[in-house]
């Protein structure tokens, strides 16, 4: 099937050609569409009005659509969802796709039509996909040719729409509809948690939540200039997909890599091509970028900002990344329940090497976002003073409205109007938050608390250790015993005794691992998070 809008970045630069294609159509926006400002699709409409000819979407170096074209497409696709497929406002659409431009089209069209998107991690097992489809009650599953077999294996009983199919193109010719009016508290995105414990839960994110998250990006994370772009190399079902929104608001180009995933060489090359590029990366991805840059003498030309988060960034790794790629890093701490927006460690704070507490700050996740309150609570829900470890609690307009169809879990997690994150941390006197660990990962051995992250940080300072994951294994005598899973650096050797001596030199005796398991890889989910649940299972 040919591309519907086959112009390249070079064509886009030749304004007259580009303008002739777009001008007559985009004029429609000035007359016929009726909007409600809280609908997230309004970000697209506004970008189309302000910058109709600017490049909105690209796949690799191939330009796909201008903002005017994207808005027209989405209004037509929204019409097809509502009238051809008979979906009603509030219905859910599951997206099971790799990172492609169509991801964005479907999301915006769904919001335009007043529907709710359910982006599903493309690496999930068909049985997990099946659970999410059923639990969310999705009426339509949108997928691509590569993932269609998995949708079939999932035994999908709902309608399936294949991007790139004749039906897909036909829908773009349907009559555009007016943007649905939605209330701020209307659900926009069901974000299924990564399920590192138990069944995934459907975090219900409203239009208000995601609008506030988008505005928070401009307050605290970064500015986005005319002509900038975001490279969606991390999964669009998660952080990268959420960052579609602030980049729509700024009319920046959204680039999905041709590989549809995370390839370090491709990212550097795309950044050089587009310039002003932003990337959301999990800490493991930052490590891969740094290794690639060192090996290939890449300088990160064109890469404006790397926003990292979604899991612990070890001190050694961020220092290495800053040393290799320079001051282009911003750290965010968030969770599905308060998407991308709890705290932020800014570019300036990464660069403030002369600050007396620089090392501490680099090991922290920064200050609460504008408009977000953070507290540390004890087990009874009382606020703890600075310097004391407890559960991180969050309040603000970005916090989810609850879990989809799970009142009990919602009431537990949102008790007293605060989001109980399940993360352990402490605030310092200046308000910077340091995360200690997930409360579920805490190891209690011989009555003492051991934070796996602290032990992992020490193990990672040994030159032979590439990756480390520490867990607790039930033990009749101690309650739990500390076990370390180690991936050795290529070509390196280290025996358990050597690592034990290294730990004894740096941390209290009772915290050191009692057993070492040397493995080739650690089990990780699609977002690069180590699946400690799996390690605990094999440690038994
Ligand atoms: P998810 O809901 O899948 O995005 O997972 C959120 C969890 O990832 C949080 O509750 C934290 O445990 C962890 N996390 C997110 N950002 C960071 C960060 N910057 N540093 C450490 N852990 C993080």
Q: What is the pLDDT of residues 288-343, one digit of tens each?
A: 999 999 998 799 999 999 999 988 898 989 999 999 999 999 999 999 999 999 99
User: Ligand 1 pocket check: which of 334, 372, 524 to mutate, most ligand atoms within 8 Å of Cβ?
Assistant: 334
- Nearest C-alpha to atom 11 of ligand 1 is from which residue? 311
pLDDT exceeds cutoff 50 at 24? no
More confident residue, 386 or 153: 386
Q: Is the CB of 364 under 6 A from ligand 1?
A: no
Q: Is the CB of 435 under 6 A from ligand 1?
A: yes
Model pLDDT, residue 248:
98
- Nearest C-alpha to atom 15 of ligand 1 is from which residue? 310
pLDDT exceeds cutoff 70 at 218? yes
- Band (pLDDT 50/70/90 cuts) for residue 7 is very low
* pTM given for the model: 0.85
CATH number of 39-48+56-211: 3.40.50.12780
Q: Which residues contact 190 (CB under 8 A, 6 or more apart)?
A: 92, 116, 117, 118, 136, 202, 203, 204, 205, 404
68 neighbors 25 (Cβ within 8 angstroms): yes
60 neighbors 270 (Cβ within 8 angstroms): yes
pLDDT exceeds cutoff 50 at 3? no
Model pLDDT, residue 474:
87
Instruction: Check the CA dihedral 53-57-63-69 and report its sign.
Output: negative
Q: At CA 17, angle to CA 11 and CA 18, rounded to 5?
A: 70
> Which residue's structure tokens are 């000035």?
30
> Which residue's structure tokens are 């008790």?
415
Q: Is the CB of 336 under 6 A from ligand 1?
A: yes
Q: Is the CB of 335 under 6 A from ligand 1?
A: yes
Neighbours of 530 (CB within 10 A): 24
Q: Is the CB of 423 under 6 A from ligand 1?
A: yes
Domain boundaries, the chain: 39-48+56-211, 442-539
**Which ranges of 305-447 does DSSP label H, i.e. alpha helix?**
315-325, 347-351, 358-362, 407-413
Residues 181-214 have pLDDT tens digits of 999 999 999 999 865 556 889 999 999 999 999 9
Nearest of 133, 72, 136, 142 to residue 107 by alpha carbon = 142
Q: Which two three-digit tokens encode residue 329? A: 């890093």
Model pLDDT, residue 507:
86
What ranges make up the beta strands (E) of 136-223?
140-143, 159-162, 187-192, 202-206
Task: Name the helix (H) or strand (E) containing 48.
Answer: helix 41-50
315 neighbors 457 (Cβ within 8 angstroms): yes
Model pLDDT, residue 437:
83
390 neighbors 377 (Cβ within 8 angstroms): yes
Q: Is the CB of 438 under 6 A from ligand 1?
A: yes
Q: Is the CB of 333 under 6 A from ligand 1?
A: yes
Using the mean position of ligand 1's atoms as its centre, give its distance from the Cα of residue 328 in Å. Answer: 21
Cα dihedral 160, 161, 164, 167, rounded to 10, equals 120
Model pLDDT, residue 6:
32
233 neighbors 261 (Cβ within 8 angstroms): yes
Q: Which residues contact 194 (CB under 8 A, 6 or more apart)?
A: 121, 200, 525, 527, 529
pLDDT exceeds cutoff 60 at 23? no
Model pLDDT, residue 196:
53
- Band (pLDDT 50/70/90 cuts) for residue 21 is very low
> Percent of the chain beyond pLDDT 90?
77
CATH number of 442-539: 3.30.300.30
Q: Is the CB of 193 under 6 A from ligand 1?
A: yes
- Band (pLDDT 50/70/90 cuts) for residue 515 is very high
Residues in the chain: 540
User: Ligand 1 pocket check: which of 333, 400, 433 to mutate, most ligand atoms within 8 Å of Cβ?
Assistant: 333
CA–CA distance, 500 with 482 (Å, rounded to integer) = 12
Using the mean position of ligand 1's atoms as its centre, give its distance from the Cα of residue 112 in Å. Answer: 30
Q: What is the mean pLDDT of residues 44-68?
A: 97
CA–CA distance, 288 with 232 (Å, rounded to integer) = 16
- Nearest C-alpha to atom 9 of ligand 1 is from which residue? 335
- Nearest C-alpha to atom 7 of ligand 1 is from which residue? 335
Residues 263-291 have pLDDT tens digits of 999 999 999 999 999 999 999 899 999 99
Model pLDDT, residue 8:
40
Q: Is 457 exposed, middle or buried (0-12, 13-18, 19+ CB in 10 A)?
A: buried
pLDDT exceeds cutoff 90 at 434? yes
Q: Is the CB of 437 under 6 A from ligand 1?
A: no
- What does pLDDT average to over the chain? 90
């Amino acid at each position: 099937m040919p591309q519907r809008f086959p112009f390249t970045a070079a064509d886009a630069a030749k304004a007259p050609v580009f303008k002739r294609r777009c001008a007559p159509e985009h004029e429609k926006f000035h007359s016929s569409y009726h909007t409600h400002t809280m609908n997230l699709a309004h970000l697209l409409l506004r970008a189309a009005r302000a910058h109709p000819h600017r490049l909105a979407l690209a796949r690799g170096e191939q330009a796909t659509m201008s903002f005017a074209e994207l808005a027209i497409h989405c209004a037509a696709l929204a019409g097809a969802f509502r009238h051809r497929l008979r979906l009603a406002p509030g219905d859910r659409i599951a997206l099971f796709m790799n990172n492609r431009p169509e991801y964005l089209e479907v999301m915006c069209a769904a919001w335009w039509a007043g529907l709710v998107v359910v982006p599903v991690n493309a690496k999930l097992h068909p049985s997990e996909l099946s659970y999410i489809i059923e639990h969310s009650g999705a009426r339509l599953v949108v997928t691509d040719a590569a993932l269609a077999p998995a949708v079939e294996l999932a035994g999908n009983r709902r309608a399936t729409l294949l991007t790139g199919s004749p039906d897909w193109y036909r829908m773009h010719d349907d009559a555009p509809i007016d943007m649905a009016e939605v209330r701020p508290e209307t659900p926009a995105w069901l974000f299924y948690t990564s399920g590192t414990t138990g069944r995934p839960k459907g975090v219900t994110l409203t239009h208000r939540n995601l609008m506030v998250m988008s505005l928070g990006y401009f307050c605290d994370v970064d500015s986005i200039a005319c002509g900038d772009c975001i490279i969606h190399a991390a999964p669009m079902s998660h952080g990268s997909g959420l960052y579609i929104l602030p980049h729509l608001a700024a009319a920046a180009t959204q680039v999905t890599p041709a590989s549809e995933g995370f390839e370090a060489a491709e990212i550097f090359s795309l950044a050089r091509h587009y310039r002003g590029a932003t990337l959301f990366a999990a800490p493991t991805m930052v490590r891969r970028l740094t290794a690639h840059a060192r090996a290939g003498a890449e300088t990160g030309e064109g890469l404006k900002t790397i926003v990292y988060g979604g899991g612990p960034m070890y001190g050694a790794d961020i220092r290495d990344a800053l040393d290799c790629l320079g001051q282009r890093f911003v750290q965010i701490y968030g969770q599905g329940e308060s998407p991308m927006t709890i705290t932020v460690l800014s570019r300036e704070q990464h660069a403030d090497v002369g600050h007396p507490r620089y090392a501490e700050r680099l090991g922290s996740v920064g200050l609460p976002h504008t408009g977000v309150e953070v507290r540390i609570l004890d087990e009874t829900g009382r606020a703890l003073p600075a310097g004391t470890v407890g559960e991180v609690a969050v309040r603000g307009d970005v916090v989810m409205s609850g879990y989809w169809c799970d009142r009990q879990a919602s009431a537990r997690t949102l008790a007293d109007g605060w989001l109980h994150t399940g993360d352990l941390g402490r605030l310092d006197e200046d308000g910077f938050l340091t995360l200690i660990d997930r409360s579920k990962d805490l190891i209690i051995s011989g009555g003492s608390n051991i934070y796996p992250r602290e032990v992992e940080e020490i193990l990672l300072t040994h030159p032979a250790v590439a990756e480390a994951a520490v867990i607790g294994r039930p033990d009749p005598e101690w309650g739990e015993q500390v076990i370390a899973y180690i991936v050795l650096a290529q070509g390196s050797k280290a025996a358990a005794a050597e690592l034990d001596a290294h730990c004894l030199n740096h941390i209290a005796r009772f915290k050191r691992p009692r057993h070492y398991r040397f493995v080739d890889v650690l089990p990780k989910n699609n977002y690069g998070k180590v699946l400690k649940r799996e390690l605990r299972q094999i440690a038994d």
